[in-house]
Structure 1
Amino acid sequence: MDKSAAGQTPIILGVDDLRSLPRATRVARTSREGVLLLEEHRDREIDELWLDHDLGGDDTIMPVVALLEEAAFDGRPFTIGMIFVHSANPSGAETLLRVLRRWDYRVRRAIA
């Protein structure tokens, strides 16, 4: 059932150091903040998760991806309707798509 039709606000999370992501209900700017944001939503359905690969300086999205991988490995994957990868880093984006698909997350490349 569509959450907006039921009067519920969809949960749209983003991890990106620069973009505003206007549709997102919450945005984390670092991988550490991204991990905390996902942990905060651990037992809730996340409608959309927007991920950028490069998060400024030496920071990347990989700690967030490791959390998603670990959850799937433990048999308790996060419940996420769709993960959108919107990185300007082509090889980083392809790595995210490959890793997340391996764990059966629904993921696709997007422009934010």
Structure 2
Amino acid sequence: MNESARPVVLGVDDLRPLPRATRVARTSRDGVLLLREHRDRVIDELWLDHDLGGEDSIMPVVTLLEEAAFDGRPFRIGMIYVHSANPAGAETVVRALRRWHYPVRRATA
């Protein structure tokens, strides 16, 4: 299978192994960089964890997605899965992304 035919599955999670992911970022900073790197590509799946260790959270990544949609150039993502063990944080992410019409589902942590 050639590289371009391989699904693009990105994850931002500080701890969990994400076996389906083709690339994983462990901090919000690296998550933002990872999304920017894939800006002009279709992302088949994006897996997001709310709490990323210490004071870090997924919110800078969510802000990047929101700003892109606000500018009329939303990221092209097949499905976003929010898999946080933090129910309130996960719901905040789901609501924010749905507001901008991203396809998003809550997944079991």
Which interval holds the TM-score relative to the shorter structure? over 0.9
Q: Does structure 1 residue 61 correspond to structure 2 residue 67?
A: no
1:37 counterpart letter in structure 2: L
| Alignment partners' CA distance in 1, 2:7 and 2:108 | 20
Per-residue deviation, residues 15-58 of structure 1 (Å, max 9, x unmatched) = 00000100000000000000000000000000000000000000
Seq. identity, % = 79
| Alignment partners' CA distance in 2, 1:61 and 1:94 | 12
Q: Does structure 1 residue 43 correspond to structure 2 residue 40?
A: yes
What corresponds to 1:90 in structure 2? Answer: 87
Moved over 4 A (4+): none
Following superposition, the deviation at residue 111 of structure 1 comes to 2.2
Unaligned segments of structure 2, at least 5 residues: none
| Alignment partners' CA distance in 2, 1:11 and 1:54 | 23
Q: TM-score, normalised by structure 1?
A: 0.93
2:34 counterpart letter in structure 1: L
Q: Does structure 1 residue 72 correspond to structure 2 residue 72?
A: no
Q: 2:31 aligns with which of 30, 34, 45?
A: 34
| Alignment partners' CA distance in 2, 1:111 and 1:44 | 27
1:103 counterpart letter in structure 2: W
Give the number of equivalent residue pairs. 107
| Alignment partners' CA distance in 2, 1:95 and 1:103 | 13
Q: CA RMSD in A?
A: 1.2
Q: Does structure 1 residue 81 correspond to structure 2 residue 75?
A: no
Q: 1:100 aligns with which of 97, 100, 104?
A: 97
